[in-house]
Structure 1
Amino acid sequence: MAERTQEALFGARELDAEIEDMTLWVHARVVPLKWRRRVLVHLDPIYSQMTFCREELVRGWKLIYPPFIQPNIDSFERRLCYLERSVQLLTAAIEECKAKLQNAETLSACRYIQLWIRRVLAKVTATHSR
Protein backbone atom coordinates (compact mmCIF):
# COMPACT_ATOMS: atom_id res chain seq x y z
CA MET A 1 0.00 0.00 0.00
CA ALA A 2 2.91 2.36 0.72
CA GLU A 3 4.29 1.92 -2.79
CA ARG A 4 0.88 2.51 -4.39
CA THR A 5 0.41 5.62 -2.27
CA GLN A 6 3.80 6.95 -3.25
CA GLU A 7 3.15 6.27 -6.95
CA ALA A 8 -0.29 7.90 -6.82
CA LEU A 9 1.02 10.99 -5.06
CA PHE A 10 3.94 11.23 -7.47
CA GLY A 11 1.60 10.85 -10.44
CA ALA A 12 -0.62 13.58 -9.04
CA ARG A 13 2.37 15.88 -8.61
CA GLU A 14 3.46 15.24 -12.21
CA LEU A 15 -0.04 16.12 -13.36
CA ASP A 16 0.13 19.38 -11.38
CA ALA A 17 3.11 20.38 -13.50
CA GLU A 18 1.47 19.14 -16.69
CA ILE A 19 -1.69 21.14 -16.02
CA GLU A 20 0.42 24.25 -15.41
CA ASP A 21 2.15 23.67 -18.76
CA MET A 22 -1.12 22.77 -20.47
CA THR A 23 -2.30 26.39 -20.57
CA LEU A 24 0.79 27.42 -22.51
CA TRP A 25 0.66 24.31 -24.71
CA VAL A 26 -3.01 24.89 -25.58
CA HIS A 27 -2.49 28.55 -26.44
CA ALA A 28 0.46 27.64 -28.67
CA ARG A 29 -1.86 25.63 -30.94
CA VAL A 30 -3.10 27.30 -34.11
CA VAL A 31 -6.79 26.66 -33.57
CA PRO A 32 -9.68 29.00 -32.77
CA LEU A 33 -9.48 30.63 -29.34
CA LYS A 34 -12.90 29.23 -28.47
CA TRP A 35 -11.58 25.68 -28.86
CA ARG A 36 -8.55 26.42 -26.70
CA ARG A 37 -10.73 27.81 -23.93
CA ARG A 38 -13.06 24.82 -24.09
CA VAL A 39 -10.16 22.41 -23.60
CA LEU A 40 -9.04 24.24 -20.47
CA VAL A 41 -12.61 24.46 -19.17
CA HIS A 42 -13.02 20.73 -19.82
CA LEU A 43 -9.86 19.83 -17.88
CA ASP A 44 -10.51 22.11 -14.90
CA PRO A 45 -13.14 19.99 -13.05
CA ILE A 46 -11.15 16.80 -13.66
CA TYR A 47 -8.06 18.45 -12.18
CA SER A 48 -10.11 19.76 -9.24
CA GLN A 49 -11.37 16.24 -8.57
CA MET A 50 -7.83 14.86 -8.55
CA THR A 51 -6.69 17.63 -6.21
CA PHE A 52 -9.60 16.91 -3.86
CA CYS A 53 -8.82 13.17 -3.84
CA ARG A 54 -5.16 13.87 -3.08
CA GLU A 55 -6.10 16.19 -0.21
CA GLU A 56 -8.46 13.58 1.21
CA LEU A 57 -5.76 10.93 1.03
CA VAL A 58 -3.25 13.15 2.82
CA ARG A 59 -5.87 14.17 5.37
CA GLY A 60 -6.61 10.49 5.98
CA TRP A 61 -2.96 9.67 6.61
CA LYS A 62 -3.66 9.30 10.33
CA LEU A 63 -5.95 6.37 9.54
CA ILE A 64 -2.96 4.09 9.03
CA TYR A 65 -1.16 5.00 12.24
CA PRO A 66 -1.04 2.36 14.98
CA PRO A 67 -3.14 0.83 16.38
CA PHE A 68 -4.07 -0.72 13.06
CA ILE A 69 -7.84 -0.96 12.88
CA GLN A 70 -9.25 -2.66 9.79
CA PRO A 71 -12.05 -0.12 9.11
CA ASN A 72 -9.45 2.68 9.15
CA ILE A 73 -7.18 0.78 6.77
CA ASP A 74 -10.17 0.10 4.49
CA SER A 75 -11.07 3.80 4.52
CA PHE A 76 -7.52 4.75 3.57
CA GLU A 77 -7.54 2.11 0.82
CA ARG A 78 -10.74 3.59 -0.63
CA ARG A 79 -9.21 7.06 -0.63
CA LEU A 80 -6.14 5.70 -2.37
CA CYS A 81 -8.28 4.00 -5.03
CA TYR A 82 -10.15 7.27 -5.65
CA LEU A 83 -6.87 9.11 -6.11
CA GLU A 84 -5.50 6.44 -8.46
CA ARG A 85 -8.66 6.62 -10.59
CA SER A 86 -8.55 10.41 -10.62
CA VAL A 87 -4.92 10.38 -11.76
CA GLN A 88 -5.78 7.91 -14.54
CA LEU A 89 -8.80 9.96 -15.60
CA LEU A 90 -6.86 13.22 -15.76
CA THR A 91 -3.99 11.58 -17.64
CA ALA A 92 -6.41 10.16 -20.21
CA ALA A 93 -8.24 13.49 -20.53
CA ILE A 94 -5.00 15.41 -21.13
CA GLU A 95 -3.84 12.91 -23.75
CA GLU A 96 -7.23 13.01 -25.49
CA CYS A 97 -7.32 16.82 -25.50
CA LYS A 98 -3.79 17.03 -26.88
CA ALA A 99 -4.59 14.54 -29.64
CA LYS A 100 -7.77 16.37 -30.61
CA LEU A 101 -6.07 19.77 -30.67
CA GLN A 102 -3.20 18.42 -32.76
CA ASN A 103 -5.69 16.90 -35.21
CA ALA A 104 -7.64 20.16 -35.31
CA GLU A 105 -4.44 22.10 -35.93
CA THR A 106 -3.53 19.77 -38.81
CA LEU A 107 -7.01 20.12 -40.29
CA SER A 108 -6.87 23.89 -39.91
CA ALA A 109 -3.51 24.03 -41.70
CA CYS A 110 -4.83 21.85 -44.53
CA ARG A 111 -7.87 24.09 -44.96
CA TYR A 112 -5.69 27.20 -44.99
CA ILE A 113 -3.47 25.70 -47.69
CA GLN A 114 -6.54 24.65 -49.65
CA LEU A 115 -7.98 28.17 -49.46
CA TRP A 116 -4.65 29.70 -50.50
CA ILE A 117 -4.41 27.35 -53.52
CA ARG A 118 -7.97 28.23 -54.56
CA ARG A 119 -7.13 31.94 -54.44
CA VAL A 120 -3.98 31.40 -56.52
CA LEU A 121 -5.90 29.32 -59.05
CA ALA A 122 -8.67 31.93 -59.19
CA LYS A 123 -6.09 34.62 -59.99
CA VAL A 124 -4.46 32.45 -62.65
CA THR A 125 -7.83 31.60 -64.19
CA ALA A 126 -8.89 35.26 -64.16
CA THR A 127 -5.60 36.29 -65.80
CA HIS A 128 -5.88 33.68 -68.57
CA SER A 129 -9.53 34.35 -69.35
CA ARG A 130 -8.82 38.00 -70.27
Structure 2
Amino acid sequence: MKNRSIILALALSIGLLTASCNHDDDGNGGETIVPLTGKWEISKIGTTSGGTETLTDAPQNQSGCNKDYMELKIDNTVIEGDYDSTLAPCSFTTDSGIYSRSHNNLTRAIDGVTTVQDIVNLTIHELKLKDASGNIEVYVR
Protein backbone atom coordinates (compact mmCIF):
# COMPACT_ATOMS: atom_id res chain seq x y z
CA MET A 1 0.00 0.00 0.00
CA LYS A 2 2.82 2.36 0.91
CA ASN A 3 4.58 1.65 -2.43
CA ARG A 4 1.39 2.44 -4.40
CA SER A 5 1.06 5.80 -2.58
CA ILE A 6 4.66 6.67 -3.35
CA ILE A 7 4.27 5.67 -7.03
CA LEU A 8 1.03 7.66 -7.30
CA ALA A 9 2.61 10.73 -5.70
CA LEU A 10 5.64 10.43 -8.02
CA ALA A 11 3.42 10.09 -11.10
CA LEU A 12 1.38 13.15 -10.11
CA SER A 13 4.52 15.19 -9.47
CA ILE A 14 5.98 14.28 -12.87
CA GLY A 15 2.65 15.08 -14.57
CA LEU A 16 2.43 18.50 -12.93
CA LEU A 17 6.05 19.27 -13.73
CA THR A 18 5.58 18.26 -17.37
CA ALA A 19 2.41 20.34 -17.74
CA SER A 20 3.96 23.44 -16.20
CA CYS A 21 7.13 23.26 -18.33
CA ASN A 22 5.61 22.00 -21.54
CA HIS A 23 5.71 25.25 -23.54
CA ASP A 24 8.56 27.77 -23.55
CA ASP A 25 6.78 30.25 -25.81
CA ASP A 26 3.67 32.20 -24.94
CA GLY A 27 1.69 31.02 -27.95
CA ASN A 28 1.63 34.37 -29.75
CA GLY A 29 3.83 33.34 -32.68
CA GLY A 30 6.80 35.47 -31.60
CA GLU A 31 4.83 38.72 -31.60
CA THR A 32 5.20 41.22 -28.84
CA ILE A 33 2.39 41.63 -26.33
CA VAL A 34 2.82 45.41 -26.11
CA PRO A 35 -0.36 47.08 -27.38
CA LEU A 36 -0.10 48.81 -30.74
CA THR A 37 -3.06 51.07 -30.05
CA GLY A 38 -2.43 54.60 -28.86
CA LYS A 39 -1.13 57.96 -30.00
CA TRP A 40 2.36 57.84 -31.53
CA GLU A 41 4.34 61.02 -32.31
CA ILE A 42 6.82 60.87 -35.19
CA SER A 43 10.33 61.28 -33.82
CA LYS A 44 12.84 60.18 -36.44
CA ILE A 45 12.95 59.07 -40.06
CA GLY A 46 15.67 57.36 -42.01
CA THR A 47 16.80 54.66 -44.36
CA THR A 48 18.66 51.38 -44.37
CA SER A 49 21.48 50.97 -46.85
CA GLY A 50 23.88 48.04 -46.85
CA GLY A 51 22.54 46.95 -43.48
CA THR A 52 23.30 50.32 -41.88
CA GLU A 53 20.52 52.50 -40.48
CA THR A 54 20.71 56.27 -40.81
CA LEU A 55 18.16 58.17 -38.70
CA THR A 56 17.53 61.91 -38.41
CA ASP A 57 15.00 64.04 -36.53
CA ALA A 58 11.70 64.05 -38.40
CA PRO A 59 11.70 67.16 -40.64
CA GLN A 60 7.89 67.14 -40.81
CA ASN A 61 7.76 68.30 -37.18
CA GLN A 62 7.42 72.08 -37.48
CA SER A 63 9.45 74.13 -35.01
CA GLY A 64 7.18 75.64 -32.34
CA CYS A 65 4.29 73.27 -33.16
CA ASN A 66 3.12 70.01 -31.67
CA LYS A 67 4.61 66.91 -33.31
CA ASP A 68 2.87 65.14 -36.17
CA TYR A 69 1.29 61.91 -34.99
CA MET A 70 -0.45 58.68 -35.83
CA GLU A 71 -3.23 57.47 -33.54
CA LEU A 72 -4.13 53.80 -33.79
CA LYS A 73 -7.50 53.14 -32.21
CA ILE A 74 -8.85 49.89 -30.82
CA ASP A 75 -11.57 49.75 -33.51
CA ASN A 76 -8.83 49.59 -36.20
CA THR A 77 -9.23 53.20 -37.31
CA VAL A 78 -6.19 55.40 -37.71
CA ILE A 79 -5.93 59.19 -37.51
CA GLU A 80 -2.84 61.01 -38.78
CA GLY A 81 -2.36 64.51 -37.42
CA ASP A 82 -0.20 67.01 -39.32
CA TYR A 83 1.00 70.41 -38.13
CA ASP A 84 2.16 72.63 -41.00
CA SER A 85 3.19 76.28 -41.02
CA THR A 86 3.19 76.74 -44.81
CA LEU A 87 -0.08 78.71 -44.92
CA ALA A 88 -0.58 79.64 -41.26
CA PRO A 89 1.48 79.02 -38.12
CA CYS A 90 0.94 75.47 -36.83
CA SER A 91 -2.07 74.84 -39.05
CA PHE A 92 -3.52 71.46 -38.08
CA THR A 93 -5.09 68.88 -40.40
CA THR A 94 -6.03 65.24 -39.98
CA ASP A 95 -6.55 62.31 -42.29
CA SER A 96 -8.24 59.12 -41.21
CA GLY A 97 -8.53 55.58 -42.45
CA ILE A 98 -8.18 52.04 -41.26
CA TYR A 99 -5.28 49.86 -40.19
CA SER A 100 -4.61 46.20 -39.56
CA ARG A 101 -1.85 44.19 -38.01
CA SER A 102 -0.82 40.81 -39.35
CA HIS A 103 2.04 39.26 -37.40
CA ASN A 104 4.72 41.97 -37.53
CA ASN A 105 3.25 43.99 -40.40
CA LEU A 106 1.24 47.18 -40.03
CA THR A 107 -1.02 48.05 -42.98
CA ARG A 108 -2.69 51.46 -43.17
CA ALA A 109 -5.21 52.61 -45.78
CA ILE A 110 -5.75 56.39 -45.78
CA ASP A 111 -7.32 58.40 -48.60
CA GLY A 112 -7.00 55.49 -51.04
CA VAL A 113 -3.30 54.97 -50.34
CA THR A 114 -2.25 51.70 -48.68
CA THR A 115 1.04 51.53 -46.78
CA VAL A 116 2.54 48.26 -45.55
CA GLN A 117 5.42 48.41 -43.07
CA ASP A 118 7.30 45.90 -40.93
CA ILE A 119 7.14 46.46 -37.19
CA VAL A 120 10.87 46.44 -36.43
CA ASN A 121 10.53 47.41 -32.77
CA LEU A 122 7.54 47.84 -30.49
CA THR A 123 7.93 48.78 -26.84
CA ILE A 124 5.77 50.74 -24.45
CA HIS A 125 7.53 53.94 -25.60
CA GLU A 126 8.72 53.29 -29.18
CA LEU A 127 7.33 52.01 -32.47
CA LYS A 128 9.82 51.56 -35.32
CA LEU A 129 8.45 50.82 -38.78
CA LYS A 130 10.30 49.96 -42.01
CA ASP A 131 8.88 49.57 -45.51
CA ALA A 132 10.10 47.30 -48.32
CA SER A 133 12.32 50.09 -49.70
CA GLY A 134 14.18 50.42 -46.40
CA ASN A 135 12.53 53.69 -45.32
CA ILE A 136 12.23 53.91 -41.53
CA GLU A 137 9.84 55.84 -39.27
CA VAL A 138 10.31 55.97 -35.50
CA TYR A 139 7.36 56.98 -33.32
CA VAL A 140 7.29 57.62 -29.58
CA ARG A 141 4.52 57.90 -26.99
In the superposition, the TM-score normalised over structure 1's length comes to: 0.27
Between 1 and 2, higher relative CO (CA 8 Å, sep ≥ 6) is seen in 1
Q: Which has the higher strand share?
A: 2
In the superposition, the TM-score normalised over structure 2's length comes to: 0.26
Q: Which has the higher helix share?
A: 1
